[in-house]
Amino acid sequence: MTDHDSDSAPRGPIEHSQAVTRAGVFVPVLRQRNSAAEVAEGVKRSDEDRLIEAEGLAAAIDLDIVARAVITVSKAQPATLFGSGKVEEMKALVEEQKIGLVIVDHPLTPVQQRNLEKELNTKVLDRTGLILEIFGRRARTKEGRLQVELAHLNYQRGRLVRSWTHLERQRGGAGFLGGPGETQIESDRRQLQDKIKKLEKELEQVRRTRTLHRAKRKKAPHPVIALVGYTNAGKSTLFNKITGADVLAKDLLFATLDPTLRRIALSHGTEVIFSDTVGFISDLPTHLVAAFRATLEEVMEAEIVLHVRDMSDPDARAQAADVEKILADLEIDTGDAEHVVEIWNKIDRLDETGRAHLEASAASQPGGRTVHMVSALTGEGLEPLLADIERRIAGRADQVELDIPSDSMQLLPWLYENSIVREREDLEDGGVHLVLDVTQQARTDLQRMGARYPNVRMD
Ligand SMILES: Nc1nc2c(ncn2[C@@H]2O[C@H](COP(=O)(O)OP(=O)(O)OP(=O)(O)O)[C@@H](O)[C@H]2O)c(=O)[nH]1
């Protein structure tokens, strides 16, 4: 499948033409939001970091960025966000550079967006609009596409309701579609509403199927290891390296939108399922988080969560804070050192001083948090990581020993399906001796089945 699945992608605010759009990226800085102290502590991004990230986002949909600027906003204007002087400057730049799309890395109200479009005489997208646009191009599975389309419609609905009220008044409330007295906006809103309902139904169906698959998988004893992290942290690269899969790993933001699952056997035979998920990003609009909640269920139910971080990014700390916030929304306790493991990735990019610095801080993590320093690219550090995962999982399973006489061999397929067979000894009398790792559930099931297999002995 190609990366640009524009036929099936939901229709976004930008026309999907072959020509690359010339774009300007503007980062408004509302002075009261970013105190110098917060930036210095690495909790808030610096203005330049925000600009670099916004450009990265814009590049994710192949825009040709011909202008970039951080714009100080001392007082947010309800009509245009920026003050009139700034808007004039932007307008000059748009004309001079023949800019076809202006990206404002900040939420814009529908009114602000429309006014800016009028003043600048070009298309304007805010951060949410841009992220939706990227998501629309990246979603590959049916569920992913439906989720994005739904988020898009909800976004449009918000704009429609508020921004069209004045049009409604201009038209004197006369309706040309629908029943008597119905206004254009009501009919548009209703159409959107119908579409949303239809999509929700479709999505529900797709999810039911997936839940069934998951329920089936849950019966199997394979624990799920979920990779999470800020967009571009290297999750897919790590996933590919570990599982030998060929998931799209590119310097593209949100290259992975749909969860990808793959089963592998660790070195002592423990089978686990690795799950690669959508990358997180700061200021992810809430309805997008909600849209992806179902996808993130894999993460919520995972045995171990690997938080992958790009430690070569100067913004690594603020990114980690963003990811932890989203994990907290998903009710994942990042303070639980047994459950969440930090993967400090891209160490191949660091010089000796950088590495030494990281090693020191890895050793002094609060709450006994485990850190693995790795390079998903070169494979460095992966062996200890996998050994750690295996140790954690083995530590959680119960081990049982079974003596199965030859008259009870019908039990064997069930055991292979529902437990991890650690050792098997074929006995001379035709029976077998097994050492198994079982989950609590499998142990209970086994005890219940005991009546049918009275000759099986369990220790
Ligand atoms: N030098 C170096 N580059 C890496 C490493 N891991 C990943 N990369 C690069 O970082 C970029 C992003 O990697 P991905 O694996 O696509 O990142 P991701 O976290 O899956 O990204 P999203 O899909 O946006 O969430 C790619 O260009 C990778 O080649 C690493 O250990 N070292």
367 labelled ligand-binding: no
Confidence of residue 419 (pLDDT cuts 50, 70, 90): confident
Q: Which of 348, 369, 395 delimits the end of a domain?
A: 395
Q: What is the mean pLDDT of residues 300-318?
A: 89
Integer Cα distance of 3 and 249 in angstroms: 11
Integer Cα distance of 418 and 432 in angstroms: 17
253 & 280 share domain: yes
49 & 96 share domain: yes
- For the ranges 106-115, 174-183, 250-259, 270-279, the lowest mean pLDDT is seen at 174-183
Q: Give yes or no for residue 250 CB within 6 A of ligand 1.
A: yes
- The CATH number that applies at residue 112 is 3.40.50.11060
Q: Which of 395, 410, 434 delimits the end of a domain?
A: 395
Give the ipTM: 0.98
151 & 201 share domain: yes
178 & 310 share domain: no
Q: Which of 182, 207, 232 delimits the end of a domain?
A: 207
CA-based nearest residue to 302, from 261, 342, 343? 261
Q: Give yes or no for residue 307 CB within 6 A of ligand 1.
A: no
| Residue 185 lies in domain | 140-207
Q: Is the pLDDT of residue 89 over 90?
A: yes
- pLDDT 10s digits, 17-37: 446 788 888 888 876 555 555
The count of domains in the chain is: 4
**Inside any domain, residue 7:** no
Q: What is the mean pLDDT of residues 75-90?
A: 93
Query: How many of the other CB atoms lie within 10 Å of CB of 264?
Result: 16
Please report the pLDDT score of residue 288 as a whole number.
66
Please report the pLDDT score of residue 140 as a whole number.
66
Q: What is the mean pLDDT of the chain?
A: 78
**Inside any domain, residue 453:** yes
181 & 121 share domain: no
Q: Which atom of ligand 1 is nearest to the CA of 280?
A: 25
178 & 110 share domain: no
Q: Give yes or no for residue 229 CB within 6 A of ligand 1.
A: yes
Integer Cα distance of 252 and 255 in angstroms: 6
Query: How many of the other CB atoms lie within 10 Å of CB of 18?
Result: 5
Integer Cα distance of 179 and 99 in angstroms: 42
Mutate which of 237, 275, 385 for ligand 1? The one with the most ligand atoms within 8 Å of its CB, which is 237
Q: Give yes or no for residue 7 CB within 6 A of ligand 1.
A: no
311 & 416 share domain: no
**Inside any domain, residue 8:** no
390 & 406 share domain: no
330 & 371 share domain: yes
> How many Å lie between the centroid of ligand 1 and the Cα of residue 252?
8
Mutate which of 3, 61, 232 for ligand 1? The one with the most ligand atoms within 8 Å of its CB, which is 232
Q: Give yes or no for residue 419 CB within 6 A of ligand 1.
A: no
Sheet strands (E) in 290-407: 304-310, 340-345, 371-373, 398-404
**Is 245 buried (19+), middle (13-18) or exposed (0-12) by CB count in 10 A?**
middle
345 labelled ligand-binding: yes
**Inside any domain, residue 17:** no
- The CATH number that applies at residue 434 is 3.30.70.240
Confidence of residue 355 (pLDDT cuts 50, 70, 90): very high
**Inside any domain, residue 215:** no
Mutate which of 236, 253, 344, 378 for ligand 1? The one with the most ligand atoms within 8 Å of its CB, which is 236
- pLDDT 10s digits, 360-414: 888 888 777 889 999 999 999 999 999 889 888 877 767 889 999 999 898 888 8
Integer Cα distance of 80 and 88 in angstroms: 11
Confidence of residue 88 (pLDDT cuts 50, 70, 90): very high
Q: Which residue has the higher pLDDT, 91 or 9?
A: 91
- Residue pair 131/151 in contact (Cβ under 8 Å)? The answer is no
- pLDDT 10s digits, 265-301: 777 767 788 887 766 766 666 666 666 665 676 677 7
Q: Is the pLDDT of residue 217 over 70?
A: no
